[in-house]
Amino acid sequence: MLNTVLYLVLNTVFVVAVSPLVMSLVKKVKAYCQGRIGPPLLQGYYNLFKLFKKEIIYSQNSSFIMRLAPYLNIGFLVAASVMVPIVFLPQISGIGNIILFLYLMVTAKFFMALAGLDAGSTFGGMGSSREMSLSAIIEPVTITSVAALAFVLKSTDIPQMFATTLHGSLTQYPTLILVAFSLFIVIIVETARVPVDNPETHLELTMIHEAMVLEQTGPKLALMELSHGIKQTILMALSINIILPLGLAADAGFIAIIVSIVSFTVKVLAFAVVVGVFESMMAKIRLFRLPSFFMLALFFSFATIVFELLA
């Protein structure tokens, strides 16, 4: 019981805390690649603090959906984050169903998209429409990757998967590398990054995610941004802890937790660098070309499955 409470608090606090940092780091890396200095690493935190102090303004046309969406968003994403152990592997079992994990994120997205439509502005509608379309076509990819993971690791429980890879090694599960590719693409899509989306611009041609939250203001926007960061962190955590679980604490010891937190921070920052570099290398793909990009991920997942089936 104590273990569970400790896990809940620690894991949640850590995820919430580290998310803005990761977001800022990606921005920083991209700035470096473009020859700029970029914002300070703590800019994410500053932004949140600033937004929390700002006034909330609602559009005249909006309804309770707009008001509720940020709360629901953060609620569901934090709930999802609970399912991805970062600080240590909890003793409680059966809390980390990967399908539930994915669908919690979909739920968050669902309400975000509704909020985008709520005010009746063209931007919001466009964002929602694109977001839901992309999420629909990425979903088979995601699920197939998950199926591949479940196949390889013989489990659908995230902590259990982590435990399996933690106690084994990558050489035991060579196909995980293939899955990692598709997971990476899934992360790119889900976190609204180039070449799928461009979080930097506010140009209607390119943006998806930003367009949806355009009408949000003040603390509400902060909640939205924060939940976006959380989403990115937990998705990264999922792939990190499967591919490279080194350092993850198997149980709740003080030292182990410190090691776990430090090692994860290092890994996630490294991942952020990779994402940043990747983003800088790519150009935005046309919306209707995206399905073929996703097919690449689907191919990796399927290849994994077929490989495992024949092996």
Partner 1 sequence: MIQALFLGGGVALLLAAAISAIGGQGSGSGRRRAALGLVIVGVIAWCSACAIVLADNSNLTFQLYQLTPQLGIAFHLDRLAAFFILIVSSVTACVAIYSFRYVEHTGSESRRDMSVAAMSVFILSMVLVVASANFFAFIFFWELMSLSSLFLVMFDREKGETAKAGIYYLVMTQFSTLFLLLGALLLHRYTGTFDITSAGGLTLSTAGIIFTAFFIGFGTKAGVIPFHKWLPFAHAAAPSNISALMSGVMIKVAIYGLVRILLDVLSPELWWGTLLLVFGTVSAVLGVIYALKEHDLKKLLAFHSIENIGIIVIGLGLWVIFGNYHLKTLADLSLFGALFHTLNHAIFKSLLFMTAGSVVAATHTRNIEEMGGLVKTMPATAAIFLIGSAAISALPPLNGFASEVMLFQAYLGAFQVPSPLTAVLLFTALAGFALMSALAAACFVKAFGAVFLALPRSHEAEHAHEAPMSMLIGPGILAAACCILGVFSYQILKGIGLDLPVPNVLPVSLVALTVFGLAVLAVRRMEAKARVSETWGCGIHAQTSKMEYTASGFSEPIITIFSPIFRTRKIAHREFADKDKSIVSGGSGEVHTLQFFEERIYMPTAQFVKRIAGYVSGLHNVDLDANVMYIFVVIVVILLAVGQLL
Find the binding residues for partner 1 in span 131-160 (CB under 8 A). Answer: 132-133, 135-144, 146-147, 150-151, 154, 156
Query: Residues in contact with partner 1, total (CB under 8 A)?
Result: 84
Nearest distance in Å: CB 29, partner 1 = 30
Q: Which stretch binds partner 1 (CB under 8 A): 29-37, 188-196, 233-241, 300-308?
A: 300-308
User: Among 22, 26, 117, 213, which residue interacts with partner 1 (rule: CB under 8 A)?
Assistant: 117
User: Among 32, 125, 278, 280, which residue interacts with partner 1 (rule: CB under 8 A)?
Assistant: 125
Between residues 204 and 251, which has the closer beta carbon with respect to partner 1?
204
Name residue 151's amino acid.
F
Residues 202 and 157 sit within 8 Å (Cβ to Cβ): no
194 binds partner 1 (CB under 8 A): no
Question: Looking only at residues 213 through 252 of this chain, which bind partner 1 when binding is defined by CB under 8 A?
Answer: 215, 218-220, 223
185 binds partner 1 (CB under 8 A): no
Nearest distance in Å: CB 198, partner 1 = 17
82 binds partner 1 (CB under 8 A): yes
User: Per-residue x/- marks for partner 1, 36-65, CB under 8 A?
Assistant: ----------------x-xxxxxxxx-xxx
> Closest Cα partner for 237 from 87, 94, 41, 75?
87
Q: What are the beta bridge partners of residue 97?
A: 157
71 binds partner 1 (CB under 8 A): yes
User: Among 114, 194, 240, 243, which residue interacts with partner 1 (rule: CB under 8 A)?
Assistant: 114
**Orientation angle between helical segments 43-53 and 2-33, nearest 10 degrees:** 110
Neighbouring C-alpha atoms within 13 Å toward the C-beta of 244: 12
User: Among 43, 129, 160, 265, which residue interacts with partner 1 (rule: CB under 8 A)?
Assistant: 129
Q: State the virtual CA torsion across 275, 278, 283, 284 in degrees, nearest 10.
A: -30
Helical (H) or strand (E) element with 221? helix 218-243
265 binds partner 1 (CB under 8 A): no
**CA triplet 166, 171, 173: central angle to 5 degrees?**
70
Alpha-carbon distance 88 to 204, whole Å?
Answer: 42
DSSP classification of residue 88 = B
Neighbouring C-alpha atoms within 13 Å toward the C-beta of 249: 22
